[in-house]
Amino acid sequence: TRHLLGRIEAQQSLGAFLHVDAEAALAGARAADAQRAAGQAGPLTGVPIAHKDIFVTRGAPTTAGSKMLAGYASPFDATVVARLNAAGTVSLGKLNCDEFAMGSANENSAYFAAHNPWDATRVPGGSSGGSATAVAARLLPAATGTDTGGSIRQPASFTGITGIKPTYGVCSRYGMIAFASSLDQAGPMARSAEDCALLLGAMSGFDERDATSAQRPPQDFHAQMLTPREGASASQPLAGLRIGLPREFFPEGLSSDVDAAVRGALAELQKLGATLVDVSLPRTQLSIPVYYIIAPAEASSNLSRFDGVKFGHRAQQYTDLLDMYKKSRAEGFGPEVKRRIMIGTYVLSHGYYDAYYLQAQKLRRMIADDFQACFRQCDVIAGPVAPTVAWALHAQDADPLQAYLADIFTLPASLAGLPGMSLPAGFGEGGMPVGLQLIGNYFAEGTLLHTAHALQ
């Protein structure tokens, strides 16, 4: 813990952390030492981690990357945080992220951008950019992230680390500041599938405080990751595994370096015994408009709680209550958040609801059905995580829609509520990392982790 606190201090310019609490971390590490001495250590006892600043934490400030929540102190821990604490992890602080997790580059943080450790002139991806930067720069062995439309997988891909977004409902959303509730999922970001499996095991499980929490017995993802497949051998651990390649995930416009790295990783999976099958997800392109209607719609509703009354920023000067609401929100929210509130309010408004929101919900169902058709032909779906490697800082300042389009390969699994994973595939343009995405059927996290572990 002391070593990593030193690294964090030395690498401050990467912008990974919004808050570091050295004293609390060292106290946590000492408590872990005592537990180990008492013979009560588990696999995560004393492991230094940090949380994306979208999880509320008692004792450390929580901002969600927004000025709206500057100085906010939560009276309770998010379930994910509480469970990792109980497993013995030591939290070093809070990690930078896009404001309310809206973004793909961490440049929407109201505080400062995070930088990609592979090339500090580039973005680390987002919205869990601080988590990705911290793990990739070896400031931490692992971190928590959240993924609404790709925010664990895309930054993992951009920084050459491993991350998994489990099936919707596997991790509790209690205490995770809501962006789009029907899509938000927590997950681990770490150096390997094995570390992700250990973290996910501790983070997940039914929680009566989250109405959409999946009612299942606790899962040992690490054991699932290690369980050999039927008919597998030491040299062919993936024998019998059918990996589906949706043709829509390899379009003309896919950057050739990404295509080559992903195909290289797929060839390795074949050597391990997997077979590749062509499949189709015909509505892949539609996932962009569908997501950018549903997510802002839910966001506009979720963010209505920030009115300057109960918590968060309150304007200093105002004439009456309405003026106080307006000024507090105008001052507290950044431009991307305001854009989404306006889009969301519009698509939910009388006269437009049927044309946009309802239509998007229907298509969302069809996108989920398309996946089920694929899973009749394969066990796992694979493809790129993003169409390019990490782009330069400020590259998309003038046109925020560019970032929306780059979410094309992560949005479909999010809309369907399926588990998705990013693991290093190779390198592309400028020596930047390229991720391989694996998508599984509902609750098939074990299969994803097993496949990734075989490759790693």
Q: Would you give the binding string for ligand GLN spanning residues 324-343, x where CB under 6 A is met?
A: --------------------
Q: Does 422 bind ligand GLN (CB under 6 A)?
A: no
Output 74 or 148, the one with its CB closest to ligand GLN: 148
How many other C-beta atoms can be found within 10 angstroms of the C-beta atom of residue 69?
24
Nearest approach, Cβ of residue 385 and ligand GLN (Å): 12
**Distance (Å, rounded) from C-alpha 35 to C-alpha 43?**
12
Q: Which is nearer to ligand GLN, 295 or 452 (CB)?
A: 295
Least spacing, CB of residue 237 vs ligand GLN, in Å? 31
Q: CA-CA distance, 132 to 118, in Å (whole number)?
A: 11
Per-position b or e across 426-443, b if 16+ CB within 10 A of its CB:
bbbeeebbbbbbbbbbbb
C-alpha distance from residue 10 to each of 3, 5, 16, 20, 330 (Å): 11, 9, 12, 13, 36
Among 64, 80, 95, 102, binds ligand GLN (CB under 6 A): 102
Minimal distance, residue 344 CB to ligand GLN, in Å: 12
The alpha carbon of residue 83 and the mean position of all alpha carbons in its chain are separated, in whole angstroms, by: 18
> CB 303 → ligand GLN: shortest distance, Å?
13
Task: Decide whether 125 or 273 has the Cβ nearer to ligand GLN.
Answer: 125
Based on the residue annotation, tell me whether 52 is a catalytic residue of this protein. yes
Q: Token match 């699994």: residue?
A: 413
Pick the binder of ligand GLN from 89, 151, 204, 300 (CB under 6 A): 151
Q: Return the biggest CA–CA distance within the chain.
A: 74
Q: Of 147, 298, 370, 379, which one interacts with ligand GLN (CB under 6 A)?
A: 147
Give the binding range for ligand GLN (CB under 6 A) out of 41-49, 146-154, 259-267, 344-352: 146-154
Instruction: Name residue, tokens 């209690």.
Output: 174
328 is catalytic: no
Shortest Å, Cβ 368 to ligand GLN: 18
Token representation of residue 155 = 């930054």
Q: Say whether residue 149 binds ligand GLN (CB under 6 A).
A: yes
| Per-residue binding letters, 162-201, with ligand GLN (x by CB under 6 A) | -----------------x----------------------
Binding letters toward ligand GLN, positions 387-416, x by CB under 6 A: --------------------x---------
Tell me which of 66, 128, 131, 151 is the catalytic residue. Answer: 151
Beta carbon nearer to ligand GLN, 18 or 225: 18
Residue 107 as a binder of ligand GLN (CB under 6 A): the answer is: no
Q: Does 103 bind ligand GLN (CB under 6 A)?
A: yes
Q: For the sheet containing 162-165, what is the strand order?
A: 142-147, 185-190, 162-165, 420-427, 433-440, 380-384, 242-246, 275-279
CB nearer to ligand GLN: pick between 111 and 325:
111
Q: How many residues bind ligand GLN (CB under 6 A)?
A: 13
Binding region for ligand GLN (CB under 6 A) out of 8-16, 149-157, 235-243, 245-253: 149-157
295 binds ligand GLN (CB under 6 A): yes
Shortest spacing between CB 228 and ligand GLN, in angstroms: 33
The region that residue 72 occupies, defined by phi over 0 for left and psi between -120 and 50 for alpha, beta otherwise, is beta
Positions 42 through 101 that interact with ligand GLN (CB under 6 A): 101
Answer yes or no: 151 catalytic. yes
Choice from 150, 166, 246, 312 touching ligand GLN (CB under 6 A): 150
Residue number with the shortest CB distance to ligand GLN?
151
Minimum CB–partner distance for residue 294 and ligand GLN (Å): 10
Residues that bind ligand GLN (CB under 6 A): 101-104, 127, 147-151, 179, 295, 407
Catalytic residues: 52, 127, 151
